[in-house]
Structure 1
Amino acid sequence: MPTATFYLISPNSAQATPEGFAQYVLYLTRHFAAQGARIYLQCQDKQHAEQLAERFWQIEPEQFLAHNLVGEGPKSGTAIEIGYVGVSPSWNRQLAINLADNQTTFARTFTEVVDFVPCAENAKQLARERYKLYRQAGYQLQTVEIQYP
């Protein structure tokens, strides 16, 4: 059964800031990549995807994660692909990390999805809508409070 995990962002946590959230996304990506997962990072738009890809290039060399934007990179792709609303992953991916705040259109595509519940009330409402979509798609749902420095 496919699984969707929603990570709850505490208002007083480092992840409640844009920088802290970006660092946590890199941490999660590294964690899942170390387990051998083929990951798709769904960004809000092309600019957001390019900014995230640039963050990956800024990682310390010993922690570097091979990645590519959708439509770029080696023919067989890398284990980490970064896309955005309106484009599809180039290769089969097991795991999607959703960084977009709109309703997902890929709920039936992945065996595992990671999503987030931000602090702002309007963003929480959008996360609730995504939660409903995953449930309707047959995902087993779970929530996790972020325990990361």
Structure 2
Amino acid sequence: MALATFYILDEKHDKPQQQMLETVCSLASQFCQQGMKVFITADSKAQAETIDEQLWQRSPDHFVPHNLIGEGPRGGTQVEIGWPGVRPAGHRNVLINLAEEAAIFAPSFAQVVDFVPCDETLKQQARERYKIYRMAGREMRTLAIEESSVI
């Protein structure tokens, strides 16, 4: 059964957005180590570029092969980073969604990772995405962001 995991951001963390981006990079690395192909949908092209830069900053021992949509080899690398309005170059196992809307192509992924922000408006949008994934028949899982090593 297809899985959707929602990570709840820590309201007590002094920089929850940064915590989320670090978790995205860590999860992408973990999925890659398992041989999975990942598509990260950022909230904007600027956020996609930030994630790209953070992945480049990882130590050589923890390098994650990645590219922004439209860059890199045909078909993309193990991790592709996009933004609303673009699609992955090829088949991917995992979607990490940072966009406010559920990706219309989410049903093609075996696993979806999403986040529940601290802001009330953004929390409501996360609840709507949760409903969409649940109605699509996904097995739902909700974890605190500190549990992100449990994939």
**Displacement, 1:140?**
1.2
**Displacement, 1:111?**
0.9
The residue number in structure 2 matching 1:121 is: 120
Residue type of the partner of 1:144? L
Deviations 1:35-69 (A, max 9, x none): 11100000112222122111111212221111011
**Displacement, 1:148?**
5.5
User: Which runs of at least 4 in structure 1 moved beyond 6 Å after TM superposition?
Assistant: none
The residue number in structure 2 matching 1:58 is: 57
The CA distance in 1 between the partners of 2:91 and 2:53, in whole Å, is: 23
Partner of 1:6, secondary structure, is strand
Q: In the alignment, is the contact (CA less than 8 A) between 2:25 and 2:55 conserved in 1?
A: yes
- Larger CA deviation: 82-91 vs 26-35: 26-35
**Displacement, 1:71?**
1.8
**Displacement, 1:118?**
1.1
1:12 equivalent to 2:29? Answer no
Q: In the alignment, is the contact (CA less than 8 A) between 2:3 and 2:140 conserved in 1?
A: yes
Task: Mark the CA change 1:8 to 1:17 in structure 2 (over 3 Å): closer, same or farther.
Answer: closer
Partner of 1:108, secondary structure, is helix
TM-score with structure 1 length normalisation? 0.91
The CA distance in 2 between the partners of 1:62 and 1:115, in whole Å, is: 26
Partner of 1:147, secondary structure, is helix
Q: In the alignment, is the contact (CA less than 8 A) between 1:38 and 1:80 conserved in 2?
A: yes
Q: In the alignment, is the contact (CA less than 8 A) between 1:41 and 1:97 conserved in 2?
A: yes
The CA distance in 1 between the partners of 2:99 and 2:89, in whole Å, is: 18
The residue number in structure 1 matching 2:76 is: 77
The CA distance in 2 between the partners of 1:91 and 1:59, in whole Å, is: 25
The residue number in structure 1 matching 2:90 is: 91
TM-score with structure 2 length normalisation? 0.90
**Displacement, 1:18?**
2.4
The CA distance in 1 between the partners of 2:94 and 2:63, in whole Å, is: 19
**CA-based RMSD:** 1.7
The residue number in structure 2 matching 1:103 is: 102
Percent identity for Structure 1 against Structure 2: 43
- Larger CA deviation: 21-30 vs 37-46: 21-30
Residue type of the partner of 1:5? T
Q: In the alignment, is the contact (CA less than 8 A) between 1:107 and 1:137 conserved in 2?
A: no
